[in-house]
Amino acid sequence: MPYQWPTLTNWLEQIAQPFYQQGYVILEQAIPADLCWALYQDVQHQQLTAAGVGRQGQHQLNQQVRRDHTAWLNQNNPVQQQYLQQMAQLQQDMNRRCFLGLIDFEAHYARYQQGDFYQKHLDAFVGRSNRVLSTVCYLNTLEQGGELLIYNEQDQLISRVQPNAGTLVIFESCRFPHEVLPATTTRYSIAGWFRQNSSIQGRIDPPQ
């Protein structure tokens, strides 16, 4: 049977309900296998650069914190556009269902080579960022290593995600500290953020 992106009805069950209950959801085979493969091929051709920490102005390389290499997705590339379109659909559904007022989605490819990690962090801080929902989609499968560990607000480990091609993780950006354990082999993913139009100190928060 050809893969079908979840319709509103089953999407409500698969994403909205656990999301409502716990603020995060892990959905296996969320991305069609052929799209996942095309993205996996596409990322190999991208010019990836060492990721930094902190927002514009304070942006700096800190290899103690993260070691991944990234490249922003854009609409001009047909494969990347397909992914962005699926996320636009998700944004619409999330707004309809959860009244989140999401206006925008930004995403980058990330490559973690053997030994690369991302220390425990939050993707957003209350009142200091307009990132509302974080998403991670895995483009290849790692049998071990490179796990995403998600913690709750009390800093207890609540989920351990083994990267699996096609799996999509969604969580509230300012609620869940998370980290990426050292990869054992090259790990490819797309990290993305849905944003609200909250202005910070009278201006729109710039992308990272």
**Chain positions contacting Fe ion, by CB under 5 A:** 123
Where in the chain does DSSP place strands (E)?
24-27, 49-50, 52-53, 60-61, 69-72, 102-112, 118-121, 131-138, 148-151, 157-161, 168-172, 178-180, 187-196, 199-200, 203-204
Question: According to CB under 6 A, which one of 42, 116, 123, 172 is a site residue for ligand AKG?
Answer: 123
In angstroms, the CA 30 to CA 137 distance is 9
Q: Which is nearer to Fe ion, 60 or 201 (CB)?
A: 60
Binding-site partner at residue 148 among ligand AKG, Fe ion, none, CB < 5 to 8 Å by type: ligand AKG
Q: Which is nearer to Fe ion, 123 or 147 (CB)?
A: 123
Binding-site partner at residue 43 among Fe ion, ligand AKG, none, CB < 5 to 8 Å by type: none
Residue 136 touches ligand AKG, criterion: CB under 6 A = yes
Rule CB under 6 A: which of 52-71 touch ligand AKG? none
The pairing of strands 131-138 and 187-196 is antiparallel
Residue 195 touches ligand AKG, criterion: CB under 6 A = no
Give least dist CB 146 to ligand AKG, A.
8
Binding-site partner at residue 189 among ligand AKG, Fe ion, none, CB < 5 to 8 Å by type: ligand AKG
Q: Which is nearer to Fe ion, 123 or 205 (CB)?
A: 123
Please report the sign of the dihedral spanned by the C-alpha atoms of residue 60, residue 66, residue 71, residue 72: negative
In angstroms, the CA 90 to CA 105 distance is 10
Residue 21, CA distances (Å) to 15, 27, 75, 98, 128 in order: 10, 15, 33, 12, 25
Q: Which runs of consecutive H residues, i.e. helices, occur in the chain?
A: 8-11, 17-22, 33-44, 78-98
Residue 190 touches ligand AKG, criterion: CB under 6 A = no
Residue 176 touches ligand AKG, criterion: CB under 6 A = no
- Name 24's bridge partners: 171
Binding-site partner at residue 90 among Fe ion, ligand AKG, none, CB < 5 to 8 Å by type: none
Question: According to CB under 6 A, which one of 39, 73, 139, 191 is a site residue for ligand AKG?
Answer: 191
Residues near ligand AKG (CB under 6 A): 110, 118, 123, 136, 148, 178, 180, 189, 191
